[in-house]
Structure 1
């Protein structure tokens, strides 16, 4: 590695450190690869530099190889680094999983009769006004505004040229029939904009409505208003700070607590806190604030979302601050500055964010079972996020795969995924399932651990898939011990065995098998994960099978039996393709009579 370090070019790029087994340890970016990488080392003798943080010193001590990629400029290095970290999840890099976009309320003031709408992207137009972002509550706010102010309720209302029910119940002023001029209508638009800015007023309106519904024993309506109130109230950190200037600020504060870090975001619009959000980073080592600030800001503004402020306030100065300001300015085509607080009002907002960060960590429950699993199976990382895989079919029919996700101490159902599979046996099906998941690492970063419903063969397949991506993901497999060549799921029929990769010997992967007591909490935890994946796979399989059986039954009415249906599916691939097929295509697979019957069947259903 010494020769590679000495021969690095004086150009921008990204560098990658690997351990003795070829595992990726760290990805970094550099304005100058030569200067940056050399700063990690001391020469004569060649060793890690003394001024490194404990985390980076440990990483450099483990590093045995180095690769690099040269890019055109510093900005490209920053973007490539961020992309590769998400795909490969190196051991010593910080990975932020919260990359969702936040909704904004917007209005196009160039329209004759404008209306408020929700967007997560930049809307084309010269006179667009945005409100937000909102971590939650955007739709609740908008619904309340439309209940209180008679704006045009939907775009189709204007196209209809005729007053609709909304006008009859006093919710619209019927500009479609010319019952209000554009100038008069804009007075209501101004009222709506003021109301969007005034959350206290919105909440006051909603509390009064909820009380009225409750008094009239309209409990369902009261509950709906209650849910709206909760959604709006949860969107922000409450602050009595009103900035003297009516300015817009995006505020990022990072606090580190041992191996955890909290990123707090606060959004100030026209001098008032309008929304806030946070996410927790579970790191394998003590994380560094500088890297988290860079990652958090770059990640938040990586998508094409509206950028309504021009100042980002941060709780601490950090190394990449000026560079990041330049990157964002170029991206959004306006001057954006990242600054640390100087006035008392701004300092009080940072202090508020830090207090909330401490509160978030205090409410976190430590999951010791994850640490125990890491130790027992000699995993690279504590498995804070686990993806669990299973497949299901019936005699080769309706073959499906399922992935369930465990994160932050619970199943994360929004991340569950179903897959239709083409494989003819359980091994090819598992390979297809895992390959398709691995192909999405760029959009959805990998977890720390894959848990496979299967034995040693499935585990080897998973290892091959992960190795082909270069990602750092540990793998375990869990399966019932086979009795009479069958794996019995029935309780008590057979014990679960857990398989894990132990080491490579002469190019062959050695797999260890552990038999834990049925009362072992680590086994029970993994069984719970496996059983949820199995439930999810079976549920989807049954749904798919029912749909397919229904489709077959429908065609039987016209004399198309199962054999002919199978022939059609083998040729066209899916039922939808059969439906779209022409008469000549159908005739080439079956015959003229059957082709005519199928065409008539679908025409009748139309």
Structure 2
């Protein structure tokens, strides 16, 4: 526990300007980000008698080891910079809303030549029009099914669309009239895009014009005695009205607004949001958070606005944002929202009428969500704390291990040896910090040697990044550990995992968390390292740490056979009771590392099997193998291709194409290749 006076800035050193400040812990990790109209006034409030601080604020300032700030011109700039830093550094003491579920949206991919209507989750993509979010995916599909009768927009995947275009026949929806079948040329790209735009207009609430147009067309058809067309139009109108009935009319037709309400207690808060478009509730979502910083209702609303609109496109910000309490001050937030939207945004608390009543409904939903969340998770926080305490007691640790890292080795009969590293903080998985390792240079089922290499690589990177940031240096200044880490980088092959999960930090600026680059990936040490295995694996991990001079990280292993916990240098295991929460947490950590390693190993094995017949082609590297498989879809289709068709693949010349064709011709057309790890047939995909 640090004394805040040890890093308190000198009097007069803090400016009185608006700005954003960051508290860091002893490892240089950003643990809190805040903004202030006056930096001097705000930061001075942290350096007072600890007894006068809120308990969570007291915990934050005693965890921190330094504070720094950046001066900006206006409060709007401070708001923008605060949001950017919270997203970049993910500070543990800031309010971080987490969805109580994953909410799907109805998406129209206007960025494609032939726009597609689909259910979509996850981050928003540029050029895609979104509606929602909705509570359930089936609600979206019911609505789309009704509307496809009037707006027969494409809903098929890229693969189905391409396949139908190749064979010249539409899919089932094209035959039953729920798709205009642009894949076979029944409608031009321009007319299909116009149809998709009409679909978007209707979903955005502009329903009256479409209904009036259809009603007039129905009357015209009846007058011309085209009764079949009139009946079809009547059914179209009924389908649209049924789709409209699925959204409750709550406000005037032209109202576009988001309503935000908060329910809170001393420890947690729940936020509920209703999206109203065209006077109808088009979507609902909710967030729950632990109140790890001292913040009131106004602050919770401000954080909710930042998270809701921080990454949204401008058209996602409505004309009105109705809240339970205004942020303090409200003017910078309103200006930020207006900048996001590109026009004025009315941020206010409704005082009377329908909008006030609807906000009360949103607030009641927030209260119910908080009550449900506490019912589900009341035992969770207590259980996690008890589990960490049991682990600390069983392993003889000075304190509960708040950060646990677990390593596992996976291979396929001694080949394709890989390893995984998973991270748990405060008893919860932190998937953004998972890592995967390739282990090259030896083969065989030598898990002990592989464990020694992986643990050594992870902590060499930790020491190098500490050295890079100036927080650690070798005694003689030679930088040998940095050179060793460079050698580790060179050992990773080009076909390693995705950049977010590799054990390298390519593309990052030196200095790590300096406000210019993202945090280094291996800069934070765990309190406990868990390895999947028994005494040999534990000894290998401990030896790797000792070779690097690291003596403040505990090591243990969990053996699968009897679920025994092994400690370095001990001849007998630690046996935890089967009902122990500590044992259950260690099992969860171990099983997650095993799952992550198996998934990576199977993926590598699958990729190598897919291109198996191409291994006989001299001079054909992995990149061109994958390009050939991607272009033709399978080895079987590649075998049927001509030399000229193979030459169409980028990077493949005629000589290489002839070699590929000859190698595949000589290969006997045996049974399809099978991934022995998963049982999947690979060649006929």
Pairwise same-fold verdict (TM > 0.5) = yes
Q: Distance in 1 between matches of 2:416 and 2:192?
A: 60
Aligned positions of 1:100-119 closer than 5 A: 103-106=105-108
The structure-2 alpha-carbon separation of the partners of 1:75 and 1:85, relative to structure 1 and needing over 3 Å to count, comes to same
Give 1:400's aligned residue: 418
Aligned positions of 1:24-103 closer than 5 A: 25-41=31-47, 47=49, 53-56=54-57, 59-60=60-61, 65-71=66-72, 73-98=74-99, 103=105
**Pick from 263, 271, 276: which aligns with 2:279?**
271
Aligned positions of 1:179-258 closer than 5 A: 242-244=250-252, 246-258=254-266
Shift, 1:477, TM fit: 5.4
**Pick from 366, 369, 382: which aligns with 2:383?**
369
Whether contact under 8 Å (1:431, 1:462) holds in the other structure is: yes
Whether contact under 8 Å (2:420, 2:594) holds in the other structure is: no
Give 2:343's aligned residue: 334
Whether contact under 8 Å (1:5, 1:37) holds in the other structure is: no
1:351 paired to 2:360: yes
Whether contact under 8 Å (2:433, 2:521) holds in the other structure is: no
1:479 paired to 2:550: no
1:390 paired to 2:408: yes
Give 1:291's aligned residue: 299
**Pick from 438, 449, 454: which aligns with 1:429?**
454
Shift, 1:55, TM fit: 3.5
* Per-residue deviation, residues 311-337 of structure 1 (Å, max 9, x unmatched): 211112232532222122223322223
The structure-2 alpha-carbon separation of the partners of 1:34 and 1:246, relative to structure 1 and needing over 3 Å to count, comes to same
1:169 paired to 2:176: yes
Whether contact under 8 Å (1:87, 1:445) holds in the other structure is: no
Shift, 1:395, TM fit: 8.3
The structure-2 alpha-carbon separation of the partners of 1:372 and 1:118, relative to structure 1 and needing over 3 Å to count, comes to closer
SS at match of 2:272: strand
Whether contact under 8 Å (2:406, 2:421) holds in the other structure is: yes
| Structure 1: unaligned runs, 5 residues or longer | 200-231, 468-473, 481-487, 500-512, 581-592
SS at match of 1:453: strand
Shift, 1:82, TM fit: 2.9
Give 1:225's aligned residue: none
Whether contact under 8 Å (1:386, 1:448) holds in the other structure is: no
Whether contact under 8 Å (1:97, 1:445) holds in the other structure is: no
Shift, 1:7, TM fit: 0.8
The structure-2 alpha-carbon separation of the partners of 1:396 and 1:67, relative to structure 1 and needing over 3 Å to count, comes to farther
1:527 paired to 2:586: yes
Shift, 1:274, TM fit: 1.9
Give 2:145's aligned residue: 144
Shift, 1:594, TM fit: 12
* Per-residue deviation, residues 549-604 of structure 1 (Å, max 9, x unmatched): 74796468x5x8xxxx9xx89x9799649999xxxxxxxxxxxx999866732688
The structure-2 alpha-carbon separation of the partners of 1:370 and 1:102, relative to structure 1 and needing over 3 Å to count, comes to same
Q: Distance in 2 between matches of 1:122 and 1:312?
A: 23
**Pick from 569, 576, 600: which aligns with 2:662?**
600
Whether contact under 8 Å (2:134, 2:283) holds in the other structure is: yes
Whether contact under 8 Å (1:114, 1:189) holds in the other structure is: no
Give 1:324's aligned residue: 333
Q: Distance in 1 between matches of 2:308 and 2:290?
A: 18
Q: Distance in 2 between matches of 1:365 and 1:154?
A: 39
SS at match of 1:26: strand
Shift, 1:265, TM fit: 1.5
Q: Distance in 2 between matches of 1:375 and 1:552?
A: 50
The structure-2 alpha-carbon separation of the partners of 1:7 and 1:329, relative to structure 1 and needing over 3 Å to count, comes to same
Q: Distance in 2 between matches of 1:341 and 1:386?
A: 47
Shift, 1:35, TM fit: 3.4
1:153 paired to 2:158: no
Deviates further, 94-103 or 525-534 = 94-103
Deviates further, 305-314 or 391-400 = 391-400
Shift, 1:267, TM fit: 0.8
Deviates further, 132-141 or 96-105 = 96-105
Q: Distance in 2 between matches of 1:310 and 1:351?
A: 20
Give 2:576's aligned residue: 517
Q: Distance in 2 between matches of 1:514 and 1:258?
A: 42
Give 2:132's aligned residue: 132
Give 2:21's aligned residue: 15
| Structure 2: unaligned runs, 5 residues or longer | 1-6, 208-241, 442-449, 462-499, 532-537, 631-654, 668-682
1:312 paired to 2:294: no
Whether contact under 8 Å (1:75, 1:327) holds in the other structure is: yes
Q: Distance in 2 between matches of 1:266 and 1:71?
A: 34
Whether contact under 8 Å (1:452, 1:476) holds in the other structure is: yes
The structure-2 alpha-carbon separation of the partners of 1:601 and 1:71, relative to structure 1 and needing over 3 Å to count, comes to farther
Q: Distance in 2 between matches of 1:389 and 1:604?
A: 43
Give 2:270's aligned residue: 262
The structure-2 alpha-carbon separation of the partners of 1:27 and 1:553, relative to structure 1 and needing over 3 Å to count, comes to closer
Give 1:228's aligned residue: none
SS at match of 2:288: strand
SS at match of 1:518: coil
Whether contact under 8 Å (2:614, 2:625) holds in the other structure is: no
Q: Distance in 2 between matches of 1:353 and 1:241?
A: 15
Q: Distance in 1 between matches of 2:545 and 2:351?
A: 52
Shift, 1:69, TM fit: 2.8
SS at match of 2:20: strand
Backbone CA RMSD of aligned residues: 5.9
- Select the structure that is richer in strand: 1
TM-score normalised according to structure 2 size: 0.57
